[in-house]
Chain A
Amino acid sequence: MSKPDEKDPLQMTVNGKAVSLSIKPSWTLLHVLREELRLTGTKKGCEQGDCGACTVLMDGKTVNACLVLALQAQGSVIETIEGMGTAENLHPLQESFLANGAVQCGFCTPGTLMSAKALLSDNPSPSLQEIRVGISGNLCRCTGYTKIVKAIQSAASRKP
């Protein structure tokens, strides 16, 4: 057990790379990703699990990184938006979002893409309702969701 001012070791895999850090127990996974690992693609929205801007994949499931104490991710496999595609080589979902007008300010986009990716992994041919439930943990203040849903449908139907 650690003392309040000491740091604890944390080992996890982030976007395929092993990561080893010394962190304060009170730090959330969100804080560690953004501030310690400088992976700022994951956004800080409400910090209480109400918006989904901080959505990442933890051991294959979507979670709000703001609601995971970093030490709870000990030994976990984390995927963030940075692991999803590159500018030269976009993930099909990213292409679809751009092609279908699903990105306006872009703030909700990383989290929404993570949720969409997890949805299509589990359910390659989701119904409209399943898509809506799949992204129901991600708030978007710009698009009204219609184009986001269309982008996901389009990406799903394009997959082999």
Chain B
Amino acid sequence: MQNFEFYSAVTIEDGLACLSERGETCRIIAGGTDLIPLLRSEEVRPVCVLNILNVEALKGVAEEGDCIWIGPATTFTEIMDSGILQRSAPLLVQAASSVGGPQIRNRGTVAGNIATASPAADVLPALMALDATLEVQSLDAGIRRIPLTEAILQPYRTCLRSDELIVGISMPRPSSDTRGGFEKLGRRHALARARMNVSVVLRTDPDGCVADLRIVPGAVMPVARRMTEAESVLLGRRPEPGVVETAAEALAEGILKTTGRRSSSEYKLPVVKNIFKRVLQRLC
């Protein structure tokens, strides 16, 4: 591993000052579970590494009015242990619990999952399904709020500038009648990169019709997104088998349209339909 300078930020301002001066040749480290392998292989060779794990203001889960705020340096274990998220956003708890193994979850962070922007990310698509917004800050431009669905540009590339730090992730608190589900497929039950994951958020009105639906499959497209073409099939209708099948078809077609036919399509397209139907079924 090529050597570098190491700086541990104590406050957000500390970190922003470092990034403002040296952001171009600096890499931010939190849990390090994505960055350290890249440093070892020398795929990235920063002059400086900025550690943000000691900044208390970047940690925690809190309710702020109608929103839930998640500190970027919150680990996957802390997500799983959060009473607020267990009650209000169990989808996120499920997604976080699927990442790696206990050791990885004790270090890996939510913002890391976002900033790495792997096409196979687990927590990132779940946050998209929950309508999350990134709060990003720099010395020059102050705070920007970016919907997460707009923040991922390409595999492994977010819209963050080199002098910017993620300082918060917020999302509207799902209503008490909103349900969320997540399922991940991997080569193992743990320590496995997602071959596919599906996040679904569903709210039905009193007569059982779909009032709100978000479907975000992960690891099936270069950049995850809500599959509105599938969501719209079910909106306003009861999730009966025929309609659900049509929505699943639209899901697969939507993915195919985005990616074109790939060698994995023969496996992934029928399977994503089944996983989607299974997750939806559990929520109904």
Contact = CB atoms under 8 A, between A and B. Distances in A.
Q: How large is the interface on B (under 10, 10 to 19, 20 to 34, 35 or more residues)?
A: 20 to 34
B36 A67 contact: yes
Q: Kindly name the residue among B1, B48, B189 whose own CB sees the greatest number of chain A CB atoms within 10 A.
A: B1
Q: How large is the interface on A (under 10, 10 to 19, 20 to 34, 35 or more residues)?
A: 35 or more
B191 A69 contact: no
Nearest to A134: B102
Contacts of A3: 5
Contacts of A55: 103
B104 interface: yes
B202 to A, nearest CB: 27
Given A115-B102, A133-B102, A49 B3 contact: no
Contact of B6 (A52, A69, A115, A134): A69
A24 B37 contact: no
A26 B102 contact: no
A31 to B, nearest CB: 9
A50 B191 CA distance: 6
A25 B106 CA distance: 22
A11 to B, nearest CB: 13
A64 to B, nearest CB: 5
Nearest to B75: A61
A35 B104 CA distance: 23
21 contacts: A4-B47, A8-B6, A25-B3, A48-B36, A48-B40, A49-B104, A50-B191, A52-B101, A62-B102, A63-B103, A63-B106, A64-B107, A67-B31, A68-B36, A68-B107, A69-B36, A71-B51, A74-B8, A136-B101, A136-B102, A137-B191
Interface of A: 1-5, 8, 24-26, 28, 47-52, 55, 61-64, 66-69, 71-72, 74, 115, 118, 133-134, 136-139
Given A49-B33, A137-B101, 18 more contacts: A1-B48, A2-B6, A4-B3, A4-B4, A24-B3, A25-B3, A26-B1, A48-B36, A49-B104, A52-B191, A62-B106, A63-B103, A64-B104, A67-B32, A67-B107, A69-B6, A74-B8, A136-B189
Interface of B: 1-8, 29, 31-33, 36-37, 39-40, 47-49, 51, 53, 77, 100-104, 106-107, 189-191
